[in-house]
Amino acid sequence: MKKKGVKERIIETASDLFYNQGYSQTGINQIIAEAGVAKASMYQHFRSKEDIAVEYLVARHGMWMGKLNDCVSRKSTSKNKVIGCFDYLIEWLTEVNFRGCGWQNIITDLPEENHKIKAQAVYHKNELRKWIHNLLLQEEQYKEEEVLDLGDQVLILIEGAIILSQIQKESWPIESAKKACIKILT
């Protein structure tokens, strides 16, 4: 098995630390030590902790959207794929012991000046919003002007369910949001 390179070890270590203990609570020296890399090697790949966090969020976006699409691919209609998103939330959040959303977590833990990180969080949420809108546009029952409003309502249900399940450490907020989603989409 090929040993992971310096950049991969840094990203993997930082991803775990940022997600589980928070951005502000994670220092460069901790990332370097836990990744088992030299400081000079780290700075060859990343200029700052912010740059590492951006890479973490880019990788997380690809992973998260890929798993979401895999989960809902079993659904027969676009509307059922949107509703199936809540099944993915239960699967994912149960697996991580309701640790919550990496983007929600990092954005609440972020100093004002970290614009590149904020941009990645906004990008992810906007991509999820587009994903929902595009699926709903495929449904004949919705008028095009309805789709933006319905999709935004679904997005709010998703985001609220994630944060409340993190607070409660239970899946009932996601199950309730799924029921609400079914009501607004029928």
pTM, full prediction: 0.92
| pLDDT-wise least confident of 60-64, 124-128, 141-145, 160-164 | 141-145
Amino acid at 179: K
SS (H, E, C) 76-137: CCHHHHHHHHHHHHHHHHHHCCCCCCHHHHHHHCCCCCCHHHHHHHHHHHHHHHHHHHHHHH
| pLDDT attached to residue 114 | 84
| pLDDT attached to residue 3 | 74
| pLDDT attached to residue 111 | 77
Query: Is 180:157 a contact under the CB 8 Å cutoff?
Result: yes
Number of Cα atoms under 13 Å in the Cβ half of residue 113 = 4
**How does residue 110 score in pLDDT terms, banded at 50, 70 and 90?**
confident
Asked whether the predicted pLDDT for residue 181 surpasses 70, the reply is yes
Mean pLDDT score across all residues of the chain = 95
**What is the domain partition of the chain in residue ranges?**
50-185
**How does residue 1 score in pLDDT terms, banded at 50, 70 and 90?**
low
Stretch 129-144: mean pLDDT: 95
Stretch 129-140: mean pLDDT: 96
Stretch 98-102: mean pLDDT: 94
* pLDDT tens-digit series, residues 33-42: 999 999 999 9
DSSP state of 5: P
Query: Is 22:105 a contact under the CB 8 Å cutoff?
Result: yes
CATH of domain 50-185: 1.10.357.10
* pLDDT tens-digit series, residues 7-50: 999 999 999 999 999 999 999 999 999 999 999 999 999 999 99
Query: Is 102:57 a contact under the CB 8 Å cutoff?
Result: yes
| pLDDT attached to residue 113 | 80
**How does residue 109 score in pLDDT terms, banded at 50, 70 and 90?**
confident
Asked whether the predicted pLDDT for residue 135 surpasses 70, the reply is yes
Q: Which residue, 110, 112, 149, is CA-closest to 133?
A: 149
